[in-house]
Chains A and B, each alone.
Chain A
C-alpha cells in the first residue's frame, strides 16, 4: 500500500509535466485543428539554449527563465515560418508540416551542433526526499506538482478572465464566427502559440532537470507524451489534456513498479495496450469535445 501511494505521488509528478505538454498541444489543436508533432522541438531547442547557458557559467536559477523565454520565442518562430503558411489547409497537411518541422529541427542540430548528447549538471536537490510517515516524497515531485498547479491556475485565469482567453475559447469553438465577431485571427493564433510555448517551457525546465542532457532527437519523447496525453484526454479538451497527462504519468510509474519481474520492462507496451483499450470503449477520449467542428 505504502509503495502504491508512493508510486502515485511519483506518477503525479511525472504526469504533471505531461499535463503541461498536453495542454499546449490541446490549445493549438483547439484554434488551428493542428495536431502538433513539432511540440517536443520546443524542448530540444530549449535544451540546447540551456546547454549553451551552462557552458557560460549560468546557474539553474537563470537557466529556468531562459528556457521559458526560448520556448515561447521558438513556438512563435515556428508559427511564423511554417504554420502561418498552411493555415486553413487540410488537417493532413498541417500534421505533415508539423512532422517536417520535427525532423528539420533535429537535422539542424545534427548538422551544426553535432549528433552527440550534450550533458549538463542536474540541480543538487533533484534526488532529495523528505518523509511523510512511511512515505518518502521527492522534493522534485513536490516542486513539479506545486508549479504545475500554479501554472494551471494561471492558465485558467487567462482563459476565463482576459479578453485574449475569451477570444481563444471562442475561436476554438468556431473560428469563422469568431472572426466575424471581430476576433483578429493572427493575434489569437500567435497568442495560442505563445501560451503553448510558455507551458512547454515550464514543462521543459523539469524535463531537462531530470534528463540532465539534450540531443538532436530529444524532442521525440516529450512530443509523444504530450500528444498521447492530449489524445487520451480527448483532443481539443483542455481539461482532458491535463487529466490525460496525469493518467499517463501515474499509469507509467505504477505499472513499472507493480508489473512482476521481467514484465516491468514492457511498461511502455502495456501503457499503449491500455490506451488502445481506452479508445475501443471511449474513442473520443476521457472528455469529449462536442463542438470541435472546424473549417
Chain B
C-alpha cells in the first residue's frame, strides 16, 4: 500500500474530529472519500498531509512511518494536497503559482513540468502571466490541481475539487480526474458529489461523524440501502 493510516484520531481541543480511521490507498488506485458536511473528510486529508497532528494512530507512506511530519516533508516524500477552497495564491501569476508547486524539485526539472501543465491545462496557458486572482472558479480549480501536480506527487489528494463550480465545470473536473487516472496517477479524492465520484473511483470510503462507516467499490456502496440517504440527494447539485 502506498498510503496506510491506522487508528488515526485527530482532535480540535477536546472534540474528536476524526476517530480511529484506518484506510489505505494502493499505487495506481483512485479512492474516493465521501460523507456529509462535518464528517471529518478535510480533517483526514489535513492530518495525512501534516497540517494537523494526530492525537493517536499512524500515517505510513510507502512503508515509512510519517506520522506528524511537517507538510513540506510529506510533499518531498511524494504526497500532494489540493486544499479545500483551492487556496491558490491570488497575488501571484498563474506561472508563479505553478513554480511554487514545484519548489521542492531540482530547478532543472521545472521547465519541462511547466510545459507539461500547459499541455494538460490549455486554459491556463492562455493566462500564464495573469494574476491568479483574476481566474474564474473553474480556472482556479484547474490551477490548484496543476500546482499540486507540479511536485510530481506519487499520491495526489484533492479536497472537494468540484465544490462551488457550475455543472459544466464540474464535468471538466471529473474528466480531469479520469485523465489523470488513465495516466496512472494515484488519487485520494474527497467529494460531496458521491454519485459522480463513485463513477471514476476504483473504490471509496464513507465517513460519518469522524468515523468510517463503509468501504467498497461504487456498485457495492450504491447497493447498500440507506447509506447515502442522509446526504447524497441533498447535496448533489
Do A291 and B91 form a contact, CB below 8 Å, given A163-B99, A180-B51, A182-B104? yes
B153 to nearest A CB, angstroms?
10
B75 contacts A180, C-beta separation under 8 Å: yes
B83 touches A183 (CB 8 A): no
Residues of B within 8 A of A176 (CB): 51, 87
CB contact under 8 A between A170 and B92, given known A180-B51, A182-B104: yes
Q: Determine the distance from Cα of A179 to Cα of B89 in the docked complex, in whole angstroms.
A: 12
Q: Which of B71, B81, B83 has the most CB of A within 10 A?
A: B71
Cα A291 to Cα B104 in complex, Å, equals: 25
Main secondary structure of the interface of A (DSSP, over half): helix
Pairwise interchain contact A177-B103, C-beta atoms closer than 8 A: no
Closest to A163 in B: B103
Place the interface of chain B in its size category. 20 to 34
Residues of chain A lying within 8 A (CB to CB) of residue B96? 166, 169-170
Chain B 145-173, CB-CB to A under 8 Å as 1, else 0, gives 00100010000000000000000000000
In this complex, how many residues of chain A approach chain B with their Cβ under 8 Å: the count is 19
Give B97's nearest chain A residue, CB to CB: A170
From residue A219, how far is it (CB to closest CB) to chain B in Å? 32
Whether B151 pairs with A181 at a CB distance below 8 angstroms is yes
Question: Quick check: is B70 within 8 A (CB to CB) of the other chain?
Answer: yes
Q: Let me know if B23 is at the binding interface, CB within 8 A.
A: no
Q: Can you list 28 A-B contacts (CB < 8 A)?
A: A163-B99, A163-B103, A167-B103, A169-B92, A169-B96, A170-B89, A170-B100, A173-B90, A173-B92, A174-B89, A176-B51, A176-B87, A177-B83, A177-B87, A177-B89, A179-B51, A180-B71, A180-B81, A181-B101, A181-B151, A182-B75, A182-B76, A183-B72, A183-B103, A184-B72, A290-B90, A291-B91, A291-B133
Give 16 A-B pairs besides A181-B147, A183-B100 with Cβ atoms closer than 8 angstroms: A167-B100, A169-B96, A170-B92, A173-B91, A176-B51, A177-B89, A179-B72, A180-B75, A180-B83, A181-B101, A182-B75, A182-B76, A182-B104, A182-B151, A290-B90, A291-B90
Bound CA–CA A182/B103 (angstroms) = 6
Q: Which residues of B contact A (CB under 8 A)?
A: 49, 51, 70-72, 75-76, 81, 83, 87, 89-92, 96, 99-101, 103-104, 107, 133, 147, 151
The interface residues of chain B lying within 8 Å CB-to-CB of A184 are 72
Find chain B residues with CB under 8 A from A177 CB.
83, 87, 89
- Give the CA-CA distance A179 to B51 in the complex, in Å: 9
A135 at the interface (CB under 8 A from B): no
A127 to B49 alpha-carbon distance, docked (Å): 60
Tell whether, in the assembled complex, residue A163 and residue B107 are in contact, meaning their CB atoms are under 8 Å apart.
Answer: yes
CA distance A167 to B147 in the complex (A): 14
A271 and B26 alpha carbons, distance in the complex (Å): 65
Task: Give the 4 A-B residue pairs with the shortest CB-CB distance, closest first.
Answer: A182-B104, A182-B75, A177-B87, A179-B71
Question: Considering the chains assembled together, what is the distance between the CA atoms of A182 and B133 in angstroms?
Answer: 21
B152 to chain A, nearest CB (A): 11
Tell me the bound Cα distance from A99 to B117 in angstroms.
47
Q: Chain A, 178-192, contact with B by CB distance < 8 Å: what is the 0/1 string?
A: 111111110000000
- A161-211 with Cβ < 8 A to chain B: 163, 166-167, 169-170, 173-174, 176-185
Contact B90 A182 (CB under 8 A): no
